[in-house]
């Protein structure tokens, strides 16, 4: 009885979910009981896995798959079994279920993930050559979709150090036209050099340097040849790849200490590309380069994507310094680049080919002050700001706007970062009796200040900067954070419907709330894809459309005005960050 109660939600869900079982025409009444039985048994298997009874769950899963091989949940269940057996070092059983996945559900989403797992399983059995050949063949067929980048990383790791000398030779024989052939040659050349077979290594390195697809590997080949004392071939005049407007280059840190941000950024870009190609029946593409989160690597990665791959535009990077380095390279080569997540406000000033899909702090402050004056009908304003960082600039600019609007700045008080007792500054604010208090700062500082507002009898409307987009602050800040108004650090008003769609897709894909870095990447990539789909056929046309869409025209004051009109306001309700007024587009139904 207890199990039946636990299964009830799944039974209700199953009863209203379309089924994928094949059904003869006009026999719905005959087949419906079979469908319900299948869904009930599938729910039982899922519940068994959830309760941690691994052995029982596997028995139930195998029995289910034998009976209902075409059920909608069968591919994922088969992959789950394979992954479980692999994790338990039972590789034979893992490969068995992956083979069944090949037979029953080729090209499914689970099958694509299964190809990566099959390669790992083969490599664990010292069959690295078979693993590398499998991945390279699947990538050549372009059949792995969103798993392609992970497959390519796995393949490169095998070629870099997972194959023996004879396996590298056989890979080059089997996959002579592979884009990764230069990587295999480089790995083989290193082994030959270590074995003092330099005469055999030299032609391999020269072949790498003459391959336009080799990218940054050419630098490594050149260094090895130089170390051997060989005469270096001149590859500086190698023809650049033909520019392709429909190919977007994505710059992300996939290795190094910032790789977690890079994976999130890449996931957002993949989601955008997959969604857009399916929606518009288009065939737009992206190619990825690892910046390692370092400026020099980012500049080289940008150069390789532009010259070696011919990308029509660039998206990225995640962090400011690598973004600036890549932007300098992109601007010099007149390739449009969109930065959707780097926090520096003036990256677009690198040149006419560089754009940012973000709202500057000045535009946020302008929008906040206008809202308080016109919508809140406030006349008396104060600001409490940190003396260090951007605090002084924000306070000064806020005061200038208030005075231009006709309001009165009754207090502008600074505090030192590191303070814990804010009695002095807060008494100055209280004595001024403002109707609105602008309170910029970092979330850790704000957590100390906000609870003291009530103690010092400060009750005016609070305005905050983008640092208020902190769940920790919303939940720990106490009653005084309730109703504060602050700008979204993520969302332009024009992106609201698209963000809602992203949130739903992300929840379906990961079961988690939207990742802000993935969201920024998704929105930025979609902007580029829309431009391409609208007919941009060259790098210059992409640049022109980016300038129009992102209001990147005229002087900084004009740009600030345009961006201020796109600010989305947020507030805190019941300890949660919500949109301010209107539809709550941040909250999923």
Poorest-pLDDT segment among 275-289, 417-431, 463-477, 571-585: 571-585
Percent of the chain with pLDDT over 90: 40
For residue 173, is the peptide bond before it cis, meaning its omega torsion is within 30 degrees of 0? Answer: no
Among 7-11, 43-47, 327-331, name the most confident range: 327-331
Distance separating alpha carbons of residues 102 and 119, to the nearest angstrom: 13
The stretch 286-295 carries a mean pLDDT of: 90
Instruction: Report residue 281's pLDDT band, with 50, 70 and 90 as the boundaries.
Output: confident
Instruction: Report residue 142's pLDDT band, with 50, 70 and 90 as the boundaries.
Output: low
Instruction: Report residue 13's pLDDT band, with 50, 70 and 90 as the boundaries.
Output: very low
Q: Dump pLDDT digits (tens) for 481-538.
A: 999 999 886 666 667 788 888 888 888 877 777 888 899 899 999 999 999 999 999 9
Does 116 reside within a domain?
no
What is the pLDDT, as a whole number, of residue 491? 61
DSSP state of 242: P
Three-state DSSP at 124 gives helix
DSSP structure string for 459-514: -SEEE--GGG--HHHHHHS-GGGTT-EEEEEEEEGGGHHHHHHHHHHHHHHHSSPP
Beta strands in 163-273 (DSSP E): 244-252
Poorest-pLDDT segment among 126-130, 139-143, 376-380, 489-493: 489-493
Is the pLDDT at 410 greater than 90, yes or no? yes
Q: State whether 292 and 339 are in the same domain.
A: yes
In the chain, count of helices (H) and strands (E)?
A: 24, 12
Owner of token pair 């309700």: 573
Is the pLDDT at 553 greater than 60, yes or no? no
Q: Whole-number mean pLDDT of the chain?
A: 84
Q: State whether 191 and 272 are in the same domain.
A: no
Q: Which long-range contacts (CB under 8 A, 24 or more apart) does 93-97 make?
A: 94/121, 95/121, 95/122
Q: State whether 350 and 263 are in the same domain.
A: yes
What is the pLDDT, as a whole number, of residue 19? 36
Is the pLDDT at 2 greater than 50, yes or no? no
CATH of the domain at 306: 3.40.50.2300
Q: Which two three-digit tokens encode residue 154?
A: 């796995």
Three-state DSSP at 1 gives coil
Owner of token pair 């075409």: 70
Distance separating alpha carbons of residues 47 and 50, to the nearest angstrom: 5
The stretch 271-297 carries a mean pLDDT of: 89
What is the pLDDT, as a whole number, of residue 30? 33
Q: State whether 264 and 297 are in the same domain.
A: yes
Q: State whether 218 and 253 are in the same domain.
A: no
What is the pLDDT, as a whole number, of residue 31? 37
In the beta sheet, which residues pair with residue 252? Answer: 290
Does 212 reside within a domain?
yes
Does 283 reside within a domain?
yes
Q: Which domain holds residue 225?
A: 179-236
Q: State whether 229 and 270 are in the same domain.
A: no
What is the pLDDT, as a whole number, of residue 582? 54
- Sequence-distant (6+) residues with CB within 8 A of 178 are 136, 140, 184
C-alpha neighbours within 13 Å on the C-beta side of residue 207: 18
DSSP state of 163: S
What is the pLDDT, as a whole number, of residue 334? 96
Which of 259, 273, 264, 262 lies closest to 313, judged by CA? Answer: 273
Q: Dump pLDDT digits (tens) for 366-391.
A: 999 999 999 988 999 999 999 987 88
Q: State whether 219 and 249 are in the same domain.
A: no
Does 379 reside within a domain?
no
Q: State whether 226 and 311 are in the same domain.
A: no
Instruction: Report residue 28's pLDDT band, with 50, 70 and 90 as the boundaries.
Output: very low
C-alpha neighbours within 13 Å on the C-beta side of residue 294: 7
283 vs 247, more confident? 247
Other C-beta atoms lying within 10 Å of the C-beta of residue 527:
21
Distance separating alpha carbons of residues 190 and 247, to the nearest angstrom: 33
Q: Which two three-digit tokens encode residue 13?
A: 């869900």
Q: CA dist 382 to 28, 248, 431, Å?
A: 70, 46, 11
Last residue of a domain, one of 356, 382, 407: 356
Q: Dump pLDDT digits (tens) for 71-84.
A: 888 999 999 999 99
Does 400 reside within a domain?
no
What is the pLDDT, as a whole number, of residue 27? 32
Is the pLDDT at 16 greater than 50, yes or no? no
Count Cβ atoms within 10 A of the Cβ of residue 30 and give its class: 0-12 exposed, 13-18 middle, 19 or more buried.
exposed
Q: State whether 260 and 335 are in the same domain.
A: yes
Last residue of a domain, one of 356, 386, 412: 356
In the beta sheet, which residues pair with residue 316? Answer: 251
CA 400 to chain centre: 37
- Sequence-distant (6+) residues with CB within 8 A of 212 are 238, 239, 240, 241, 308
Would you say the pTM of this structure is higher than 0.85? Answer: no
Instruction: Report residue 23's pLDDT band, with 50, 70 and 90 as the boundaries.
Output: very low
Sign of CA dihedral 44, 50, 56, 62: positive
Number of domains the chain contains: 2
Does 451 reside within a domain?
no
Q: Nearest 5°: CA angle at 334, between 361 and 310?
A: 115
Distance separating alpha carbons of residues 187 and 168, to the nearest angstrom: 8
Count Cβ atoms within 10 A of the Cβ of residue 308 and give its class: 0-12 exposed, 13-18 middle, 19 or more buried.
buried
Is the pLDDT at 236 greater than 80, yes or no? no
Q: State whether 260 and 351 are in the same domain.
A: yes
Distance separating alpha carbons of residues 342 and 113, to the nearest angstrom: 31
What is the pLDDT, as a whole number, of residue 489? 64
DSSP state of 388: S
Does 494 reside within a domain?
no
The stretch 132-138 carries a mean pLDDT of: 90
What is the pLDDT, as a whole number, of residue 566? 77
Is residue 519 within 8 Å of residue 264, measured between CB atoms?
A: no
Q: State whether 229 and 256 are in the same domain.
A: no
Among 234-248, 254-268, 368-382, name the most confident range: 368-382
What is the pLDDT, as a whole number, of residue 555? 55
Is the pLDDT at 319 greater than 80, yes or no? yes
Last residue of a domain, one of 190, 219, 236: 236
């Amino acid at each position: 009885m207890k199990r039946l109660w636990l299964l009830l939600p799944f039974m209700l869900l199953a009863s209203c979910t379309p089924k994928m079982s094949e059904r003869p025409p006009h026999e719905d009444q005959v087949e419906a009981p079979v469908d319900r039985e299948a869904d009930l048994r599938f729910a039982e298997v899922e519940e068994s896995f959830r309760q941690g009874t691994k052995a029982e769950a596997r028995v139930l899963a195998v029995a289910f798959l034998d009976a209902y091989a075409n059920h909608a949940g069968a591919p994922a269940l088969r992959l789950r079994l394979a992954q479980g057996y692999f994790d338990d070092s039972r590789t034979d059983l893992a490969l068995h279920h992956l083979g069944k996945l090949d037979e029953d559900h080729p090209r499914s989403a689970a099958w694509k993930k299964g190809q990566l797992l099959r390669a790992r399983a083969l490599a664990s059995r010292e069959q690295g050559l078979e693993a590398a050949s499998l991945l390279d063949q699947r990538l050549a067929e372009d059949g792995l979709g969103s798993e392609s980048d992970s497959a390519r990383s796995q393949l490169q790791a095998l070629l870099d150090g997972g194959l023996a000398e004879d396996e590298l030779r056989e890979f080059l024989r089997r996959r002579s036209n592979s884009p990764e052939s230069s990587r295999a040659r480089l790995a083989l050349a290193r082994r030959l050099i270590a074995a003092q077979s330099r005469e055999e290594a030299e032609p391999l390195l020269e072949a790498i340097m003459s391959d336009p697809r080799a990218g940054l590997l050419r630098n490594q080949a050149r260094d090895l040849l130089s170390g051997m004392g060989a005469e270096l071939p001149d590859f500086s005049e190698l023809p650049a790849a033909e520019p392709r407007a429909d190919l977007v280059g994505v710059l992300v840190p996939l290795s190094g200490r910032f790789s977690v941000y890079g994976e999130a950024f890449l996931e957002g870009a993949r989601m955008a590309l997959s969604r857009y190609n399916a929606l518009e029946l288009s065939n737009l593409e992206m190619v990825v380069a690892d910046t390692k989160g370092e400026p020099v690597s980012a500049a080289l990665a940008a150069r390789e994507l532009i010259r070696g791959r011919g990308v029509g535009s660039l998206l990225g990077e995640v962090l400011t310094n690598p973004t600036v380095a890549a932007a300098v390279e992109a601007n010099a080569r007149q390739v449009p680049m969109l930065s959707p997540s780097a926090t520096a406000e003036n990256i677009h000033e690198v040149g006419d080919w560089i754009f940012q899909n973000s709202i500057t702090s000045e535009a946020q402050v302008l929008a906040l002050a206008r809202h308080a004056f016109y919508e809140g009908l406030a006349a008396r304003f104060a600001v409490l700001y940190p003396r260090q960082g951007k605090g002084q600039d924000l306070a000064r600019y806020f005061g200038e706007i208030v005075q231009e609007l006709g309001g009165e700045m009754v207090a502008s008080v600074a505090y030192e970062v590191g303070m814990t007792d804010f009695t002095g500054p807060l008494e100055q604010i209280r004595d001024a009796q403002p109707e609105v208090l602008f309170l910029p700062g970092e979330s850790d500082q704000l957590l100390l200040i906000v609870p003291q507002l009530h103690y010092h009898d400060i009750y005016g409307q609070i305005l905050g900067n983008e640092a208020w987009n902190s769940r920790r602050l919303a939940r720990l800040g106490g009653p005084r954070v309730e109703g504060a108004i602050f700008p979204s650090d993520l969302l332009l008003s024009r992106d609201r419907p698209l963000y809602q769609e992203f949130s739903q897709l992300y929840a379906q894909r990961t079961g988690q709330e939207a990742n802000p870095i993935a969201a920024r990447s998704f929105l930025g990539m979609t902007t580029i894809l829309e431009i391409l789909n609208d007919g941009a056929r060259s790098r210059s046309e992409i640049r022109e459309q980016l300038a129009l869409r992102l209001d990147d025209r005229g002087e900084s004051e004009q740009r600030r005005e345009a961006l201020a009109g796109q600010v989305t306001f947020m507030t805190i309700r019941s300890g949660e960050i919500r949109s301010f007024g209107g539809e709550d587009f941040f909250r999923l139904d």
